[in-house]
Structure 1
Amino acid sequence: MKNIIKSIGLCFGLGLALQACDDWTIPENEVIQNLEGTPKSEEYYEKLRAYKKTDHQLAFGWFGFWNGGTSTSARGSLRSVPDSVDLVAIWGTEHAFNLTQTKINDMRYVQEKFGTKVLFTIFAHEIPEPFDATPEGIKAYASAMCDTVYKYGYDGLDLDYEPGFGGSGPLVSGPGHMDNMEIFVRKLSERLGPTSGTGKLLVIDGVPYHLNEGLSALFDYGIVQAYSSRGDSDLQGRFNNAYANGWKPEQYIFTENFESLWKTGGTTNYRDKDGNIMNSLQGMARFNPEQGKKAGCGTYHMEYEYAHNPEYKFLRQAIQIMNPANPNN
């Protein structure tokens, strides 16, 4: 992802500056909407929550600028996201930590009403103060991140891990610290992920295949930043790298960069295996690896699509492509 911050401590220090800078780039044609949206019946929400538990392809997004919503606009609220979205990761640790009651209420509403899973994302390269790059320090850092998940009632944790694409630090496998990431992941997996038995999710994005062999089994999902993808052949090549490292197609989510490409639904020259041209998010929704059905697709800075009419129109289209019988849109 863009603008990787080197540590959580630095992110806290720059929180206000980063928020101000981000606000300058938010689409101006803001849609005004009541936080509760269009009233629906309890029967509808029961069916929606039941749908979320079925075997279907997931809709995912990183959500920035989270403020819980205001009295005049739902843009910064998780309740503004289509209720058939399955997973949302809070982008920006200045938004994900030290939650206000407004944010907690907003998160709890979508979790309990919609059945939406809410995670938060950290940059898994550096080890922030007061922790250090020793096995004990790494385990303490992992425990602190798990504590945050449980403290606020998040559904899990997303690790932004991008070796070779701007991510460097003591948690990146390499000479001198080959096993640090494995120590970190294994400690996290005691309380998060499919082997923990807790129901809390452990997710990794960026370069999921850059892990020691066997670690993929400790994650629920790997999310690839297939930004500006040119077509099915590109996505297949990306998954082949992951498959060789033990990832299964049903674990893999493909994503597009909507911080830059929200207006057009991604690139406009995505080519599928039959030569059809479409926007890249639609292509990701239609694509499945040769090895089997994917986990789903999604967008980075999904909230930019709130400026469309209807809001989130491209993500809604992707949901319909993946799951034509889903209960919304």
Structure 2
Amino acid sequence: MNIVNKKIYLALAVAALIGSASCTKISPLDVDDEAQAELLKRDTKKWAAEADSLAKNKADSAAITAENARLREIYLADLREYKKTKHTVMFGWFAAWNPSSPDKTFHLDNLPDSVDFISNWGGAWNLDEKRIEEFKRLHEKGTRMTVGWIIENVGDGGIKAPEGGWSDDPYKAIDQYAKAIADSVAKYNYDGIDIDYEPSFASPFKAGNHCGDWPEQGGSWAKKRPIISCSMDSNKQYENFFFTKMREYLPKEKMMNINGSIDWIDPKVTSLFNYFVFQSYNNTPGRWRSAARSVMRANSKITADQFIYTEGFQNNPTNANGFSRYVDFAKANNAGGIGAFHINEDYLYSGYNNVKNAIKALNPPMDK
């Protein structure tokens, strides 16, 4: 058989197969159309009920969310009003604030809601978005945050010099410095300044105490631009000028607090401050009573409720767990408040229970 005949044969065979298949009879399935309609009707009702239930669940969830938000706003408003009332305050230095840290010790969000105000101890400027947002949430609770550092010379605290640099004239430079601090406080929405004033404390960073780096006789003031006197009762003109300008540049609602060598402050300027904070660490608040009395004697406008006594929590759970002693002291001496250095470390020790219990003891909830 030649190639042409083979092709003809194959074509005829394929055609025969197709014809055979097309003649095959296919029996339709015996489907009960009425039963199918009933099933569809049943399922349609079920689907509609499920859709209604889902819609109701969504509506209920939205209503619950809205109600929770409403109650939250009421709670926050009550909290803010409470902090405006006359009461014994809770204060603390908040160390190493960092909402990006996996360790929640450094998150402001975990601070007890009833803490009145804190001082940001470290990382004050150039706040990133996470810090800005967490700071906003802190303010929603009515909790204020000041910023502070040890002040000795013009420029301390990472404050940038103005264009052209700090003046070589003492009063001009100090004025520039005070204005720059106030501008930075406003820029980052801090609630004031916490001046770390420690001329009676030895400095671990240099010879002598935490006071200005004064020139030797005949030397230039402009070399270090010192502000804080190294004497308890003399050479106060520059620091007094600084305190005065600082208060002048800060809006009235902003706090100006001072901590450290409280009894070294010139009585002429004590009226400029909102609170005086004693570093009465290691259960030593009693040692500072005479300093408080001295300040009040020298200026009759100063009252006992402007003094805050603080414990040191840094690396010291024993101090934190004994915080109730400061509650007793504050009550016995009509103190303005109590607080702690590294207050956020109480989160590590007790989940802030020491701070919370102290607040409750100082300001017991009123029965409604």
Pairwise same-fold verdict (TM > 0.5)? yes
Partner of 2:105: 75
Aligned AA for 2:273? Answer: F
Q: Would you say the 8 A contact 2:146–2:193 is kept in 1?
A: yes
Q: 2:325 aligns with which of 269, 274, 283?
A: 283
Matched, 1:172 2:228: yes
Q: Would you say the 8 A contact 1:265–1:314 is kept in 2?
A: no
Secondary structure of 1:287's counterpart equals helix
> Superposition RMSD on alpha carbons, in Å?
2.5
Gapped runs of 5+ residues in structure 2? 1-67, 156-160, 203-209, 213-225
Q: Deviations over 1:266-305 (max 9, x none)?
A: 5x8xxxxxxxxxx3x3222222487x62210000011111
Partner of 1:163: 199
Whole-angstrom CA distance in 1 between matches of 2:178 and 2:366: 36
Partner of 1:84: 114
Matches within 5 A, 1:86-105: 86-92=116-122, 95-105=123-133
Q: 1:190 aligns with which of 248, 259, 272?
A: 248
Partner of 1:127: 154
Whole-angstrom CA distance in 1 between matches of 2:340 and 2:183: 27
Aligned AA for 1:45? Answer: L
Aligned AA for 1:191? Answer: Y
Matches within 5 A, 1:310-321: 311-321=351-361
Matches within 5 A, 1:262-273: 263-266=317-320
Whole-angstrom CA distance in 1 between matches of 2:363 and 2:267: 33
Report the structure, 1 or 2, having the larger helix content.
Answer: 2
Q: Deviations over 1:235-269 (max 9, x none)?
A: 423422332343421111100111142x1235x8x
Matches within 5 A, 1:1-329: 41-70=72-101, 73-92=103-122, 95-111=123-139, 113-128=140-155, 130-131=165-166, 134-166=170-202, 167-169=210-212, 170-174=226-230, 177-192=235-250, 196=251, 198-230=252-284, 233-246=286-299, 247-261=302-316, 263-266=317-320, 279=322, 281-288=323-330, 293-309=334-350, 311-325=351-365
Whole-angstrom CA distance in 1 between matches of 2:169 and 2:282: 35
Aligned AA for 1:141? Answer: Y
Q: Deviations over 1:205-236 (max 9, x none)?
A: 111221222211111111010011346x4242
Q: Would you say the 8 A contact 1:222–1:253 is kept in 2?
A: yes
Whole-angstrom CA distance in 1 between matches of 2:115 and 2:337: 11
Secondary structure of 2:263's counterpart equals coil
Whole-angstrom CA distance in 2 between matches of 1:148 and 1:67: 19
Whole-angstrom CA distance in 2 between matches of 1:306 and 1:123: 26
Partner of 2:63: none
Aligned AA for 2:360? Answer: Q
Displacement of 1:133 = 6.9
Displacement of 1:65 = 1.3
Q: Would you say the 8 A contact 2:116–2:142 is kept in 1?
A: yes
Q: Closer, same or farther in 2 for the Cα pair 1:218/1:264, shift >3 Å?
A: same
Whole-angstrom CA distance in 2 between matches of 1:208 and 1:235: 9
- Structure with the greater alpha carbon radius of gyration: 2
**Normalised by the size of structure 1, how large is the TM-score?**
0.74
Displacement of 1:120 = 0.6
Whole-angstrom CA distance in 2 between matches of 1:124 and 1:178: 14
Q: Would you say the 8 A contact 1:69–1:75 is kept in 2?
A: no
Q: Closer, same or farther in 2 for the Cα pair 1:62/1:134, shift >3 Å?
A: same
Q: Closer, same or farther in 2 for the Cα pair 1:242/1:138, shift >3 Å?
A: same
Q: Would you say the 8 A contact 1:209–1:245 is kept in 2?
A: no
Which structure would you say has the larger RCO, counting Cα contacts within 8 Å and 6 or more residues apart? 1
Displacement of 1:172 = 2.0
Whole-angstrom CA distance in 1 between matches of 2:134 and 2:228: 34
Displacement of 1:56 = 0.5
Whole-angstrom CA distance in 2 between matches of 1:326 and 1:139: 47
Aligned AA for 1:217? Answer: S
Which has the larger displacement, 222-231 or 152-161?
222-231
Displacement of 1:191 = 2.7
Displacement of 1:177 = 4.2
Aligned AA for 1:283? Answer: R
